Amino acid sequence: MQTKQAITVLSALAQESRLAIYRLLVEHAPDGLVVSAIAERLSVANTTLSFHLKELVHAGLITSRQEGRFIYYAASMATMDDLIGYLTENCCCATGKTCAPSKSAAQVTSARKRDVKPA
């Protein structure tokens, strides 16, 4: 990933509604959700949602596909992986130290499930 693309991706996420949309789509990866489901779950008007979806597609954070008369949007996990790689590619190089391994998504998810108390 190049610096300009990283700025575009980070700028797209630096807005509350777009960040909420992206996080919702990550939960429903890899299949994604139809526009009406996104609007309903986040209580966002269709015209506003359309604008935010366009910005996220432009940044490469989400993709769209049409199935019949429905348009599905899905998170592009590859773009986020590229961004994280870009942000951390030189981690600790100035100190000569080795970084501690970061938690994997599976470890984080597992930890979250353990923290949830049954009702």
Q: What residues contact residue 104 under an 8 Å CB cut-off, 6+ apart?
A: none
pTM of the model: 0.78
Structure tokens at 74: 């899905």
pLDDT at 70: 95
pLDDT at 118: 46
**Terminal Cα distance for the chain, rounded:** 44
> Residue 103 and residue 59: Cα distance in Å, rounded?
26
Residue 71, helix vs strand vs coil: strand
**Phi, psi (rounded to 5 degrees) for 62:** -135, 160
Q: What is the DSSP letter of 15?
A: S
CA-to-CA dists, residue 86 to 50, 91, 95, angstroms: 29, 10, 18
For the segment 18-69, what is each residue's pLDDT rounded down to a tens digit?
A: 999 999 999 999 999 999 999 999 999 999 999 999 999 999 999 999 999 9
